[in-house]
Amino acid sequence: MPDALDGEVREATGKEVVDLKRAPDPDADLVARSKKGDLCAFEELVRRHQRPLFSYVYRMLGNPDEAQELTQVALVRSWDKLKGFKGDSKFKTWLYRIATNLCINKVTRRKPTTELPETLVGPETEEPEAEYRRRQREQAVRAAIDCLPAEQRSALMLSMYDNMRYSEIARAMGKTVRAVDSLLFRAKVNLRKNLAAARRKGIV
């Protein structure tokens, strides 16, 4: 749909330039000190970013243990590669790019999920109806996310939970703004498809 997107993408690219000029990186000072080997400064960067980074990775992988491990790997790798960080983007965006690559590798190495489970897990114990419904809904949503291809999932998570603009997502994923727009469009259409069965059963 290039004709439909031309205006949108041009505009988004323009915003990207403006955003870069207007918004200084809040981590710039800590990054500069860390580059000189100041571990206290890097500790502060870890404190700032570990929670949102873990949330992003968890939403990508759906497994808390794997998410903890991969978050740690991403943070350690960011320290190792910090000297190569030129400040072309915010530190956060650069850190998320490292995590995104790790997540996409991990997801694509898994056995591909092509179908949603026909039946969702039922209540094992007698639990209140509302709690059971909530768990069913969460399982359906999780399954719908797990069926998304890794890059679509990544773009969606960065957009929804980390409130990144398309231009920032593009940097975090090493893509163009147009590619991000396309990934997000496909992700949202696929989510609708993936949720259709649960919706018919009244689960969501």
Partner 1 sequence: MKCKKVLRLLPAYLDGEADEGRKSEIERHLAGCPACRQEFEYLKVDMELFAQVEVPELSPYLFTRTMAEIRNPERRRVPTGILVRRALAGAAAAVLVAAGVWVGSFLGGEIQGGSENGSSWYSVESEPSLEDLYGLALGENGNGDDGEVR
Q: Which residue reads 């918004």 in tokens? A: 23
Q: Are 112 and 195 in contact (CB under 8 A)?
A: no
User: How many whole angstroms separate alpha carbon 136 and alpha carbon 204?
Assistant: 8
Q: Find the shortest distance in angstroms from Cβ 130 to partner 1.
A: 14
Q: Are 203 and 137 in contact (CB under 8 A)?
A: yes
Decide if residue 136 touches partner 1 (CB under 8 A): no
Query: Rule CB under 8 A: which of 66-125 touch partner 1?
Result: 68, 71-72, 75-76, 79-80
User: How many whole angstroms separate alpha carbon 77 and alpha carbon 118?
Assistant: 40
Decide if residue 130 touches partner 1 (CB under 8 A): no
Of 18-26, 87-95, 116-124, 140-148, which segment contacts partner 1 by CB under 8 A?
A: 140-148
Decide if residue 43 touches partner 1 (CB under 8 A): yes
**Burial of 131 per CB tally in 10 Å (0-12, 13-18, 19+):** exposed
Q: Find the shortest distance in angstroms from Cβ 1 to partner 1.
A: 5
Of 23-31, 39-47, 105-113, 118-126, which segment contacts partner 1 by CB under 8 A?
A: 39-47
Of 20-28, 49-57, 91-99, 110-118, which segment contacts partner 1 by CB under 8 A?
A: 49-57
